[in-house]
Amino acid sequence: MPSRLTAPARGRAGRTAAAVRDRVMRGGERLWRREDFPDLPPQAVSQALSRLARQDKLRRVHKGTYYRPHPATLGESRAAQSDVLSRLLKAPVHPAGLTAANALGLSTQNPARPQFAAPTTRPGSRPREWTMTVGRPPSRRRLSADEAAVLELLRDHAMTSDLSPEETTERLTRLVAGDDTFAHLARVALDEPPRVRAMLGAIGQELGMPAPLLEPLRTSLNPLSRFDFGKLRGLRFAKEWQAK
């Protein structure tokens, strides 16, 4: 069947395809969507990306989203799930639930549907193979994925950890021991549920963190409330931070 495109149209489509291919091949390992080519015709870009996937130059990871892999020791690299979701939601995405525990070295389990959370109220296009929770505090945008995963673990009372309470406490304490890490978490935790602030405060006191970091957490708590610390109930200062 003869092409329905006129010669000039075919020429424009060919130039678009060549430009997309050139940028993709020079761009290295990364995700690509047609929004990454704002200066080119959107439909032609979509067709060019799809063609590159058929040619095994790209891997389709979700509708309209492609990944340019690079060779690795055990086969080609794969796109990080959190990166894919971040592109789809246009917001930072971090592990939650069992996925958070696994990312932090507290569990060897991987849920059938990886779990993530994001500081956005707009769910966007979410792949059905992943569980996505939105509505986390906007202040989490200032955290790394691992720092935000710590807050998710505290929301779950650390019960997603496969380790014993003692090992869980030791591992989590080491994860937040750096002054910068704890400071980041302490500031953002003021927007988290009270139990998160209480557990983080008890961890900080055990680490000997300075009073200016701990006092805002302490004064944010209702003195009459008591909190379930879950696997962190063995923290030395848990009672001082209103653990049940």
pLDDT tens digits along 212-229: 999 999 999 999 999 999
First-last CA distance in the chain? 76
SS3 117: strand
Mean pLDDT of 19-46: 88
Q: Does the pLDDT value for residue 35 go beyond 60?
A: yes
SS3 99: helix
CB atoms within 10 A of CB 99: 26
| CA 225/CA 167 separation, integer angstroms | 27
pTM greater than 0.75 (yes/no): no
How is residue 156 annotated by DSSP? T
Tens digits of per-residue pLDDT, 102-138?
999 999 988 888 899 989 887 666 667 778 888 999 9
Backbone region of residue 158 per phi and psi (left: phi > 0; alpha: psi in -120 to 50; beta: other values): left
- Decide if 113 contacts 129 (C-beta within 8 A): yes
Tens digits of per-residue pLDDT, 132-185?
888 999 999 999 989 999 999 999 999 999 999 999 999 999 999 987 999 999
pLDDT of residue 1: 42
Domain ranges in the chain are: 7-76, 81-241
Tens digits of per-residue pLDDT, 72-104?
666 677 666 767 676 776 778 899 999 999 999
CATH (residue range 7-76): 1.10.10.10
Q: Which two tokens stand for residue 230?
A: 């879950």
Which burial class, exposed, middle or buried, applies to 66 when counting CB atoms under 10 A from its CB (0-12, 13-18, 19+)?
A: buried
